[in-house]
Amino acid sequence: MSAPDIDAVKRYLLDLQDRICDALTEADGQQTFIEDSWERPQGGGGRTRVISDGAIFEKGGVNFSHVFGGALPASATAHRPELAGRSFEAMGVSLVMHPKNPYIPTSHANVRFFIAEKEGEDPVWWFGGGFDLTPYYGNDDDCRHWHLTAKAACEPFGETIYPHYKQWCDEYFHLKHRDEPRGIGGLFFDDLNELGFEKSFALMQSIGNAYIPAYIPIIERRKDTPYGERQRDFQLHRRGRYVEFNLVYDRGTLFGLQSGGRTESILMSLPPEVRWGYDWKPEPGTEEAQLYERYLKPIDWAGA
């Protein structure tokens, strides 16, 4: 198995952040990302880029981080106890985009690399990441496009990759306390090293590169859809589910907070406005009810 090329991974991630920010800036057409470079006292740092109050994006962030240290946080060793006592190095690009228009879905993407080392032993490393879509008002064409783009990114690496990562995404982005999905899924993978470094790295790159062609066409189709207070209220209600998942279940959030990461960068994924109503339920037969009845369930969109 070829040795990991950490520098090559970092170069790719920095370039990916640049390309994604350029594409999203062009899509917004009004605002640009502001950059905030930061250092982590325990080792490492990153550059956080945030856009807000744009023509398309109410708030969004694209974060690069590269952190390292002598001991892993509990979130990293909970399901990998053999890593306890190892030094670590972690890097990745993570993003969340919250549009203004409720007919444009929120999107999330993340690609990352992790390596843990101990003197006298082989390093333990892996890739992880994926992307997923959280619509407020479902649209079959958007769902098919999102999943067909995800499938195309995986196909060069084997016919089982997409269905496996899609199922993994459906299972991971599930709010157990509400027994409902966060959105319509996409791809999720972790602990990827069985293909060897070069092929695993290539698969991670293919997935990272697929985010923009998956998301931009959806923005273009939905950005001029008219909406009112009813749609806005529902968007804020559904954003509450997004916040719940990120603060209760998300591995990246937990790892960042437990490893002494920069709180502002870790929590950039949270929307600027959100609403929780007590025991709120959509009225039967409405567009809002259709989201629950049709879209918030595992569907084979790439084969539909």
Looking at residue 79, what DSSP letter applies?
Answer: S
Give residue-wise pLDDT tens across range 142-196.
999 999 999 999 999 999 999 999 999 999 999 999 999 999 999 999 999 999 9
Residue 52's nearest CA partner among 264, 283, 271 is 271
Which SS3 state, helix, strand or coil, does residue 70 take?
coil
Residue 227's nearest CA partner among 102, 140, 121, 104 is 102
> Which two three-digit tokens encode residue 123?
């390093």
Q: What is the dihedral of CA 183, 112, 21, 199, to 10 degrees?
A: -100
Taking domain 6-295, whether its CATH number is 3.60.21.10 is answered by no
Could you please report the per-residue DSSP string of 134-165?
Answer: E-SS--HHHHHHHHHHHHHHHGGG-TTHHHHH
Q: Where are the alpha helices (DSSP H) in 249-299?
A: 251-258, 263-266, 287-290
Which residue numbers are catalytic?
108
pTM of the model: 0.92
Give residue-wise pLDDT tens across range 272-282.
899 998 988 89
Are the CB atoms for 130 and 169 separated by under 8 Å? Answer: yes
Residue 110's nearest CA partner among 22, 207, 15 is 207
Give residue-wise pLDDT tens across range 237-267.
999 998 898 888 877 787 777 767 678 877 8
- Cα(95)–Cα(269) distance, integer angstroms: 7
For the chain, which residues make up each domain, given as ranges?
6-295
pLDDT over 70 for what percent of the chain? 96
Residue 107's nearest CA partner among 232, 33, 20, 15 is 20
- Cα(213)–Cα(52) distance, integer angstroms: 22
Numbered residues of the known binding site for substrate: 94, 110-112, 260-262
Instruction: State which amino acid sits at residue 31.
Output: Q
Q: How many helices (H) and strands (E) does the chain have?
A: 9, 9
- Cα(186)–Cα(167) distance, integer angstroms: 9
Phi and psi at residue 41, to the nearest 5° = -55, -35
